[in-house]
Amino acid sequence: MMDTHYNFAFLDERTKKRIRRALLKAVAVPGYQVPFGSREMPFAYGWGTGGVQITASLIGLSDVLKVIDQGADDTTNAVNIRRFFARTTGVTTTEKTREATLIQTRHRIPEMPLTESQILVYQVPMPEPMSRLEPSRRETIKMHALSEYGLMHVRLYEDIAQLGAISRAYDYPVMVNERYLMSPSPIPKFDNPKMHMNPALQLFGAGREKRLYAIPPYTQVRSLDFEDHPFEVQRWDHACALCGASESYLDEMIVDDAGSRLFVCSDSDYCEERRDAGHVGTQQAVTLHDALATPPEAVTPNEQEAA
Amino acid sequence: MSAAPGRPQASSHRSAQHEGTPVIPPVLLSARRAGKAFVHQGQPRWACRGVSFDLYPGEVLAVVGESGSGKSTLLRLLAARLACDEGSVHYDVRAESSEKSGNESTGLVDLAELSEARLRWLARTDWGFVEQHARDGLRMNVSGGANVGERLMALGARHYGHLRSEASSWMQRVELDTGRIDDLPATYSGGMQQRLQIARNLVTHPRLVFMDEPTTGLDVSVQARLLDLLRELVDELQLAAVVVTHDLAVARLLAQRMLVMKDGQVVEQGLTDRVLDDPQHPYTQLLVSSVLTP
């Protein structure tokens, strides 16, 4: 039930209206960072204040809300935000991706394809993709205005030169609608292809940085790369130990002192749904060779001698 | 400053040349009574004023004078890093689209009339700017190779292998060890940083390079090597250059013509050898006579 001491969804109606106006602009110019008057929320910065403000300004009585944190519905951030909205709005909450109309997420996009009737709200810590490369905010605004994005490729070049491959595994920069360079928030690059031509509306909010931006439905989103070093997503040699999924993003958990790993789906709802449908994984951890111990090359000759 | 007789017209359209006389190429850069004032306690102070000259393709112009004489301000005006408060600077801008046979010029254009986007495009394609302190002109947190490749990537180069081979060929041209291609510029010596900065500027084959005291802060033998290199590159690439220096030897070695500045005014200009061997203005005479000869 809604706590009537607060206005519906905590923020006052004018603030919500102002955020919606900024969102309209963001949708009209895909990937462009729109400044907005970010409010103090009853959360610490870094706990999704940007996403919470967007959700608060959009949520209505008929909405069904799902909150994700690192793919899971039962972690601290997700539980808190879900409870916050349940208390201040009284709307139905769910853990099922397919039932939700409004999904607020931190660090993941659900594995299940989204539909036109859904809105995905991202929590963004650092909206400016070039912030580490160009310290001046004024200069980056100019670079966005003039579409001067050579600098981002300098960063990728440097990765290949120093490490042999583009090492960035999350917050991998994308080009939206072939116009604006955008930070996809710290989602794994595994999720980048899901943003391309997605039927759902995708909204991004950065509370501390006071910026929001959007990818409208069916918009082109391209991950940056080089012709001879094309963009690739992560792949695993293992399937999910619980549901046997081999196509999903896997979390790797060390389960004992010997370094055995348990690979499970990061998207908890996806994993559960597969298990309910009768899919079963190996149900056990995998023993991996410890990379920090003696390298296998050094071991093999001795073993051959012994044999 | 009206002491430049026989100066050609600013217009890019010249009357037909007389038969037999050599064809003078169109002016590349032209300053017309350019000046810049900084407001100090409500009063404008002219850092430089009334500077006029023409620079032709492949020509090197030295600007000499003591510190505080407005040399660097003039250079910033010419490179459109500052806007003129008086007068104007014109440049022979090439057509933007590369499909149009590359060198098609649109005639002299007042830099003040160009959009910021166009000026930034000019600055990273057709111009180079070599800073006095290499650290100001380099990106210190990425490797030497990335520094050389930056302009190419800004112009849309998206092939790592090509970028890398281009970077190493330019490093060779400026006599840098290509084995250092992945090292950060901070690990380079001062002379190497300066050469890296030059390579980074020349990679897009600019027609005009601005240099602000390129050899200051380097020891004498490194200076000599750098000057040698600059002379070769200017000659080989048919670069036009404006070199600001307080070192008359640099002017003598590199430049065909020179401007002498004092208190923001050009007091004398002419062919380098003429100015240095037969200085007319008392200040130039003082400058020339104060050079130490071991």
* B67-103 confidence digits (pLDDT tens): 889 999 999 999 999 999 999 999 998 876 544 445 5
Amino acid A106: pLDDT:
93
* Residue A174 in tokens: 């994308």
Q: How confident is the model at residue B21 (pLDDT cuts 50, 70, 90)?
A: low
Q: Please identify which residue in the block is written with the tokens 């399937």.
A: A239
Give the predicted TM-score (pTM) of the model.
0.84
Residues of A with CB under 8 A from a CB of B: 142, 146, 148, 150-151, 153-155, 157-158, 160-162, 225-229
- Answer yes or no: do A160 and B160 touch at CB < 8 A: yes
User: Greater confidence, A107 or B66?
Assistant: A107
A269: three-class secondary structure by DSSP: helix
Q: Tokens in use for A294?
A: 């003696």
Confidence of residue B15 (pLDDT cuts 50, 70, 90): very low
**Does the pLDDT of residue B4 top 70, yes or no?**
no
Confidence of residue A1 (pLDDT cuts 50, 70, 90): confident
Q: Sheet harboring A180-182: ordered strands across? A: A180-182, A174-176, A221-223
How near does any CA of chain B get to the CA of A133, in Å? 9
Q: Minimum mean pLDDT among A23-32, A52-61, A69-78: which range?
A: A69-78
Residue B294 has pLDDT above 60, yes or no: no
Checking if the pLDDT of B1 tops 80, the result is no
Range A273-288 average pLDDT: 90
Q: Give the pLDDT confidence score for residue A81 in this predicted structure.
A: 95
pLDDT computed for residue B97 by the predictor: 54
Q: What is the pLDDT of residue B172?
A: 92
pLDDT score of B12: 42
pLDDT at A20 (0 to 100)? 97
Domain boundary assignment for chain A = 13-223, 250-306
Beta-carbon contacts of residue A239 (< 8 Å; ≥ 6 apart): A245, A246, A263, A281, A282
Kindly list the residues from chain A whose CB atom is less than 8 angstroms away from the CB atom of residue B154: 148, 150-151
pLDDT at A303: 45
Please indicate whether residue B102 or residue A99 has the higher confidence score (pLDDT).
A99
Whether residue A265 lies in the annotated active site:
yes
| Pick from A283, A261, A265, A282: nearest CA to A274 | A265
**Residue A306 confidence (pLDDT):** 45
Fold of A13-223: Rossmann fold (3.40.50)
Q: What's the CA gap between B26 and B23, in Å, rounded?
A: 9
Chain B residues with beta carbon closer than 8 angstroms to that of A225: 158
Per mean pLDDT, which range of A133-137, B152-156, B197-201 is the poorest? A133-137
Q: What percent of chain B has pLDDT over 90?
A: 61
Structure confidence by residue, pLDDT tens digits, A158-217 = 999 999 889 889 999 999 999 999 999 999 999 999 999 999 999 999 999 999 999 999
What's the mean pLDDT in A259-281?
A: 92
What's the mean pLDDT in A32-50? 93
Catalytic residue check, A271:
yes
**Tokens at A66, concatenated:** 């799902």
Q: Is the pLDDT score of A65 beyond 80? A: yes
Partner A contacted by B140 (CB < 8 A): no
**In the block, residue with structure tokens 């040399």:** B71
Interface with A, mutate which of B153, B166, B182, B187 (most A CBs under 10 A)? B153
What CATH code is assigned to B26-94+207-215+229-246? 3.40.50.300
**Average pLDDT of the segment spanning B250-260:** 91
Write down the mean pLDDT value for chain B.
Answer: 86
| Both tokens assigned to A95 | 């853990």
Q: Do A226 and B158 touch (CB under 8 A)?
A: yes
Range of lowest pLDDT (A109-113, A282-286, B136-140, B268-272): A282-286
What are the CA-CA distances from residue A63 to residues A85, A96, A101, A102, A216 (Å)?
11, 13, 6, 7, 19
pLDDT for B68 equals 86
**Domain boundaries of chain B, sorted by first residue:** 26-94+207-215+229-246, 140-205
Instruction: Say yes or no for a CB contact (<8 Å) between B153 and A155.
Output: no
CA A267 to chain centre: 11
